[in-house]
C-alpha cells in the first residue's frame, strides 16, 4: 500500500504536473458552480486537451477537475439556493438558509472544510481498499469478469433513472452501440450498413460528448427551462453578497462535529463505490442520515452547521469511493470515471484488475493526484472565492454556443475525422430523447465502455471451455449472478411497494 | 406517448440487428462467433422494449378511459413545437456547422456558428453582439493555434486558404 503511494509521490511531484492539477481544480470549480454545466461535461471537455500529455499528467488534470467540480456546486448552492450541480441539491437545504441569515461566509467555509476533510477520509479508504480488491480480482477468469459486468450494469440500471426496465434498456442500448465496427476477436466489420463512417466503430468519447454534453445543453434550451433559469438569475445576484471567510474559526467548528463528518464521509465513499450511484445520491443520503442521528433533528433545514457538513462531506467523498472499482476492477462507477478510464485507454493502458500490478506508477499517481487536488481545492476555494462568485451569472445564450463548439472540437480531435461529428450529432439527439423520456444516460455510457470487455470475456470463456454451466458452478461467478438477480428483483419489489404506498 | 414511440423504435432496432447478424461469418459450431454477442443483446433489448411498449399502451388506454380527450391534437402539437423550438433550431444549426466546416474551414464556420447561435437563443442587443463576437473570435483562434501547434491536430482549412 505504501509503496504505491511513494511511487505516486515520485510521479506527481513535478512542477508542471502540480500546475496542471491546480488549473484543473480551478476549471472544475468554475464548471461546478455554473448551473447547467455539470462535472461530467467539464471532464469530457478536458480529455481532448490531455491527449498531448503523458498518461500521469493527463490523469492528474482530470482528477483535479473532478475534485474541484464536486466542491464547486457549493458556491451557487449556498449563495443562490440553486444547486450548481446535481450533487449539491441537499447543500441548499442548510447552506442557503445560513447564508440568508447573514452568515454566507460561514456557510461557504464550513462547506469548503467539510469537502476537503471528507476527500482526505475517502482517499484513505481508497488507498487501503482498492489494492486488496484488485488482488482478489486477479483470481477472476473470463467467467467471473463477465458475471461481474452483468452485475455492475444491473446495479447501475436499478439505481439511476425512473424505472428498472428503462435503465436496463439504456444499458443494453449502450452495449449494442459498442458492437458496431470491427469485432474484438476476429476483426469482422459488423453493423456498418455499408457506411464508411461506421467501419471503425463508434468512438467512445464521441458517444460521451454527445450524450452528456450536447443532450444537456439541448435540455437547457427548452422554453420552460429557459424561463426557470431567467427567474432564478433575476432573483438574486451572487456577486453582490458580501462575506468574510474565516478559515481557522470554521475549521474548529467542523472538527467539533467529528461524528457527522466521519459518518457522512463513509456514507459518501460507500455510495460512490456502487456503480451508477454518485454524488447526487450521496449528498441527499448523507444529509438524511445526519438528520436521523442528530439529537435535534428539527434544526435541520434552518441553517444548522451539521446540515452543511453532512451534505458537502457526502458529495465530496464519493470521489474516493468512485475510484475504488475504477482502479481495482476497471469498472467505472460513473460517467466521470468512465472518461478517466477512456483516457487511460487512449494512452494504450488497459484498465482492469491487472492495473495495480502492471502500472503501479499510474495507480500511485491517481492516489497522490487526488491528495494534491484536495489541497488545491482548499487553497483555490479560500483564495479565489471572491472571483468565483462572479461567474455564476454567465447567461445561457453565451454558455451554450461556446460549449457546443468545444464539444465539436473535442470530438474532432480524437481521430481527426469530420465524419465523427455526424456521429456526435446523432448521439446528442439520442441522448436528448433518452433524458426527455427519463431513460438514464449513465447505464448507456457504461454499457458502451464495458461492452467490448464483456464480449471478449464471454467469448474467451467459451473458447477455453464450451461448457456454459461453468458460469454457474464457479463460486465467485455464481455469487455475482445471484447478486444480479437479487438487485433486479429487489428494485422491482421496491417500486411496487412505493407505488402501493402512493396509491393508498 | 414518447416512450411508446421510442420503445417501438428500439424493438425495430433489435429486429434489424438480429437479422443482420445472420450474414456475419462464423468460424465453427463450437465457438461463439462475431454475431452471437450482438444477437444475445438484441434479443434482450427487444424483449425489454416490448414489455415497455405493452406497459405504456396499457397506461395510455387507462388514461384515455378516465377522461375524454379534452385538448385537441393540433393545439398540443403546437405546444410541443413552441417548447422545443430552440432545440430544433440549434440542432439544425449544428448540422449546418458540421457541413460548413468541410467547405469554408474551421475558423470561419466556428466564429459564425457561435455568433448566430447566441443571437438565436439570447437577446439581440448591441452589447451582447459585441460580447459574443469578441469571445467567438478569441476562443476560436486561440483553440485553433493551441491544437495545431501543441497537439498537431490539422483542422479542415476550407476553400479560402
Task: For A90, list phi and psi in degrees, rounded to 5.
Answer: -70, -20
Find the closest chain B residue to A436 by CA distance. Answer: B2
Residue A134's alpha-carbon distances to A244, A325, A352, B146, in angstroms, are 45, 9, 8, 39
Cell numbers for A459, please give them: 467469448
- Structural domain tally of chain A? 1
CB A423 within 8 A of CB A206: yes
Q: Is residue A504 part of a domain?
A: no
Bridge partner residues of A182 (DSSP): A189
Which among A165, A404, A425 has the least Cβ separation from residue B117? A404
**B67 — contact with chain A (CB < 8 Å)?**
no
Residue A201 lies inside a defined structural domain of this protein: yes
> For A182, phi and psi rounded to 5 degrees?
-65, 140
Take residue B5 and report the three cell numbers written for it. 414511440
> CB-CB: which of A183, A413, A432 is closest to B153?
A413
Å between A88 CA and nearest CA of chain B: 27
Would an 8 Å CB–CB cutoff place B42 in contact with chain A?
Answer: yes
- The residues, ordered by sequence, that sit 6+ positions from A307 with a Cβ below 8 Å of its Cβ are A90, A93, A94, A95, A287, A290, A291, A300, A301
Distance from CA of B93 to the nearest CA of A (A): 10
Q: How many CB atoms lie within 10 A of CB A162?
A: 12
Exposed, middle or buried, B101 (CB in 10 Å: 0-12/13-18/19+)?
buried
User: Look-up: residue for cell 435540455?
Assistant: A219
Q: Give the chain A residue whose CA is nearest to the CA of B144.
A: A409
Distance CA A482, CA A406 (A): 44
Cβ proximity of A251 and A298 under 8 Å? no
| 3-state SS assignment for residue A182 | strand
- Interface residue B62 vs chain A (CB under 8 A): no
Q: What mean pLDDT is predicted for residues B45-69?
A: 81
Strands (E), A321-362: none
Task: Spell out the residues 6+ positions from residue A70 whose beta carbon is closer than 8 angstroms to its own.
Answer: A28, A32, A39, A85, A87, A115, A279, A315, A316, A318, A319
> Of the candidates A495, A161, A97, which has an alpha carbon nearest to the alpha carbon of residue A311?
A97
Query: Could you give the 3-state DSSP secondary structure of residue A145?
Result: helix
Q: Please provide the DSSP assignment of chain B as one string.
A: -HHHHHHHHHHHHHHHHHHHGGGS----TTS--TTHHHHHHHHHHHHHHHHHHHHHHHHHHHHHHHS---S-HHHHHHHHHHHHHHHHHHHHHHHHHHHHHHHH-HHHHHHHHHHHHHHHHS---HHHHHHHHHHHHHHHHHHHHIIIIIS-PPPP--S--
Which long-range CB contacts under 8 A does A80-86 form with residues at least 24 apart? A80/A35, A80/A232, A80/A235, A80/A236, A80/A238, A80/A392, A81/A236, A82/A35, A82/A232, A83/A35, A84/A32, A84/A33, A84/A34, A84/A35, A84/A37, A84/A392, A85/A32, A85/A38, A85/A39, A85/A279, A85/A280, A86/A38, A86/A279, A86/A280
Question: DSSP readout, A353-413?
Answer: TTHHHH-HHHHHHHHHHHHHHHHHHHHHHHHHHHHHHHHTT--HHHHHHHHHHHHHHHHHH
Contact A458 B128 (CB under 8 A): no
Contacts 24+ apart (CB under 8 A), A408-411: A408/B94, A408/B97, A408/B98, A408/B101, A408/B110, A409/A48, A409/B143, A409/B147, A410/A44, A410/A45, A410/A47, A410/A48, A410/A205, A410/A209, A411/A203, A411/A205, A411/A206, A411/A209, A411/A210
Q: Is the residue at A444 inside a domain?
A: yes
C-alpha cell at A494: 421496491
Q: What angle do CA A442, A89, A313 make, to 5 degrees?
A: 90
Interhelix angle A419-436/B73-104, nearest 10 degrees:
160
Q: Which residues contact A322 (CB under 8 A, 6 or more apart)?
A: A272, A273, A278, A333, A334, A336, A337
B52 with A166: Cβ contact below 8 A: yes
pLDDT of residue B71: 59
The one-character DSSP state at A238 is G
**Higher pLDDT among residues A289 and B125, named by residue:** A289
Helix (H) or strand (E) holding A76: helix A55-80
Long-range contacts of B121-126 (CB under 8 A, 24+ apart): B121/A221, B121/A396, B121/A397, B121/A400, B121/A401, B121/B86, B121/B90, B122/A395, B122/A396, B122/A397, B122/A398, B123/A397
B133 contacts on A by Cβ (under 8 Å):
none
What average pLDDT does this structure show over B13-22? 82
- How many contacts, defined by CB atoms under 8 Å, are there between A and B? 157
What's the grid cell of residue A31? 464548471
| Structural domain includes residue A98 | yes
ipTM entry: 0.88
Residues of chain B neighbouring A400 (CB-CB closer than 8 A): 90, 117-118, 121
**Closest to A397 (Cβ–Cβ): which among B6, B21, B118?**
B118
Angle between helices B73-104 and A223-235 (to 10 degrees): 80
Q: List CB contacts (< 8 A) between A439 and chain B.
A: 6
Q: What is the pLDDT of residue A261?
A: 86
Closest approach of B94 to chain A, Cα-based (Å)? 8
Q: In this complex, do B38 and A190 lie within 8 Å of one another by their Cβ atoms? A: yes
- The more confidently predicted of residues B160 and A76 is A76
The DSSP element (H or E) to which A256 belongs, if any, is none
According to the model, what pLDDT value does residue B70 have? 55
Contact A179 B38 (CB under 8 A): yes
> Is the minimum CB–CB distance between B2 and chain A shorter than 8 Å?
yes
Contact present, A56 and A11 (Cβ < 8 Å): yes
Residue B112 confidence (pLDDT) above 60? yes
Domain that includes residue A300, residue range = 2-499
Q: Taking CB atoms and an 8 Å cutoff, what residues of chain A touch B143?
A: 406, 409
The strand pairing partners of A181, in sequence order, are A190
A405 and B140: CB-CB below 8 Å? yes
Contact A165 B51 (CB under 8 A): yes
From the candidates A157, A393, A397, which should be mutated to test the interface with B, based on the most B CB atoms within 10 A? A397
pLDDT at B23: 64
Q: Which residues contact A136 (CB under 8 A, 6 or more apart)?
A: none
Rounded Cα distance between B26 and A404, Å, is: 42
Chain A residue with Cα closest to B155: A416
Bridge partner residues of A190 (DSSP): A181
Total Cβ atoms within 10 A of residue A374 = 27
Low-confidence spans in chain A with pLDDT less than 70: 1, 161, 232-242, 503-504
- pLDDT for residue A64: 92
Q: How far apart are CA B136 and CA A32, in angstroms?
A: 23
Inform me whether the pLDDT recorded for B11 exceeds 60.
yes
DSSP-derived secondary structure letter, A298: G
Closest among A124, A120, A130 to A330, alpha carbons compared:
A130
Q: Do A396 and B122 touch (CB under 8 A)?
A: yes
Kindly state whether B150 is in contact with chain A, defined as any CB-CB distance less than 8 angstroms.
yes
Amino acid at each position: 500500500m505504501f509503496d504505491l503511494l511513494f511511487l505516486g509521490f515520485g510521479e506527481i511531484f513535478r512542477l508542471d504536473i502540480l500546475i496542471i492539477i491546480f488549473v484543473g481544480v480551478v476549471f472544475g470549480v468554475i464548471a461546478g458552480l455554473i448551473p447547467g454545466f455539470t462535472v461530467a461535461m467539464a471532464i469530457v471537455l478536458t480529455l481532448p486537451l490531455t491527449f498531448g500529455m503523458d498518461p500521469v499528467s493527463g490523469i492528474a488534470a482530470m482528477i483535479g477537475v473532478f475534485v474541484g467540480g464536486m466542491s464547486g456546486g457549493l458556491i451557487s448552492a449556498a449563495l443562490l439556493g440553486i444547486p450548481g450541480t446535481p450533487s449539491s441539491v441537499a447543500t441548499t437545504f442548510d447552506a442557503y438558509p445560513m447564508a440568508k441569515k447573514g452568515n454566507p461566509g460561514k456557510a461557504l467555509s464550513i462547506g469548503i472544510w467539510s469537502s476537503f476533510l471528507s476527500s482526505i477520509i475517502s482517499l484513505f479508504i481508497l488507498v487501503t481498499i482498492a489494492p486488496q480488491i484488485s488482488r482478489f480480482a486477479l483470481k477472476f477468469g473470463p467467467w467471473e469478469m463477465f458475471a461481474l459486468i452483468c452485475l455492475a450494469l444491473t446495479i447501475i440500471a436499478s439505481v439511476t433513472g425512473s424505472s428498472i426496465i428503462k435503465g436496463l434498456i439504456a444499458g443494453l442500448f449502450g452495449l449494442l452501440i459498442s458492437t458496431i465496427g470491427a469485432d474484438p476477436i476476429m476483426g469482422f466489420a459488423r453493423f456498418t450498413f455499408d457506411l464508411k463512417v461506421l467501419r471503425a466503430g463508434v468512438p467512445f468519447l464521441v458517444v460521451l460528448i454527445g450524450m452528456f454534453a450536447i443532450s444537456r445543453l439541448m435540455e437547457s434550451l427548452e422554453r420552460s427551462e429557459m424561463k426557470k433559469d431567467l427567474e432564478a438569475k433575476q432573483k438574486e445576484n451572487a456577486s453582490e453578497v458580501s462575506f468574510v471567510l474565516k478559515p481557522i474559526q470554521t475549521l474548529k467548528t467542523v472538527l467539533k462535529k467529528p461524528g457527522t463528518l466521519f459518518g457522512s464521509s463513509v456514507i459518501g465513499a460507500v455510495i460512490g463505490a456502487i456503480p451508477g450511484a454518485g454524488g447526487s445520491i450521496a449528498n441527499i443520503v448523507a444529509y438524511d442520515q445526519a438528520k436521523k442521528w442528530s439529537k435535534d433533528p428539527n434544526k435541520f433545514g434552518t441553517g444548522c452547521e451539521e446540515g452543511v457538513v453532512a451534505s458537502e462531506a457526502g458529495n465530496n467523498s464519493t470521489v474516493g469511493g468512485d475510484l475504488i472499482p475504477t482502479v481495482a476492477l476497471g469498472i467505472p462507477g460513473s460517467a466521470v470515471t468512465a472518461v478517466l478510464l477512456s483516457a487511460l485507454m487512449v494512452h494504450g493502458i488497459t484498465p482492469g484488475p491487472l492495473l495495480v500490478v502492471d502500472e503501479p506508477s499510474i495507480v500511485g499517481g491517481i492516489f497522490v493526484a487526488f491528495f494534491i487536488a484536495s489541497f488545491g481545492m482548499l487553497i483555490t476555494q479560500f483564495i479565489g472565492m471572491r472571483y468565483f462568485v462572479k461567474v455564476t451569472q454567465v447567461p445561457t445564450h453565451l454558455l451554450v454556443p461556446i460549449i457546443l463548439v468545444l464539444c465539436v472540437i473535442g470530438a474532432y480531435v480524437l481521430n481527426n475525422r469530420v465524419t465523427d461529428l455526424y456521429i456526435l450529432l446523432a448521439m446528442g439527439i439520442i441522448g436528448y430523447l433518452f433524458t426527455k423520456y427519463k431513460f438514464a444516460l449513465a447505464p448507456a455510457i457504461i454499457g458502451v465502455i464495458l461492452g467490448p470487455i464483456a464480449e471478449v470475456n464471454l467469448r474467451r470463456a467459451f473458447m477455453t471451455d464450451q461448457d456454459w454451466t461453468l458460469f454457474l458452478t464457479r463460486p465467485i461467478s455464481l455469487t455475482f449472478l445471484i447478486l444480479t438477480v437479487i438487485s433486479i428483483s429487489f428494485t422491482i419489489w421496491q417500486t411496487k411497494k412505493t407505488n402501493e404506498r402512493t396509491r393508498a | 406517448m414518447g416512450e411508446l414511440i421510442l420503445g417501438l423504435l428500439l424493438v425495430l432496432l433489435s429486429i434489424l440487428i438480429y437479422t443482420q447478424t445472420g450474414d456475419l461469418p462464423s468460424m465453427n459450431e463450437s465457438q461463439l462467433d462475431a454475431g452471437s454477442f450482438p444477437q444475445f443483446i438484441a434479443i434482450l433489448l427487444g424483449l425489454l422494449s416490448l414489455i415497455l411498449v405493452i406497459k405504456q399502451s396499457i397506461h395510455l388506454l387507462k388514461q384515455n378511459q378516465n377522461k375524454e380527450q379534452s385538448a385537441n391534437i393540433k393545439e398540443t402539437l403546437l405546444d410541443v413545437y413552441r417548447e422545443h423550438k430552440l432545440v430544433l433550431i440549434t440542432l439544425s444549426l449544428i448540422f449546418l456547422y458540421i457541413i460548413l466546416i468541410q467547405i469554408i474551414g474551421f475558423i470561419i464556420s466556428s466564429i459564425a456558428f457561435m455568433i448566430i447561435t447566441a443571437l438565436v437563443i439570447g437577446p439581440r442587443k448591441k452589447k451582447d453582439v459585441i460580447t459574443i463576437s469578441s469571445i467567438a473570435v478569441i476562443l476560436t483562434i486561440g483553440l485553433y493555434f493551441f491544437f495545431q501547434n501543441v497537439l498537431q491536430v490539422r483542422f479542415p482549412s476550407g476553400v479560402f486558404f
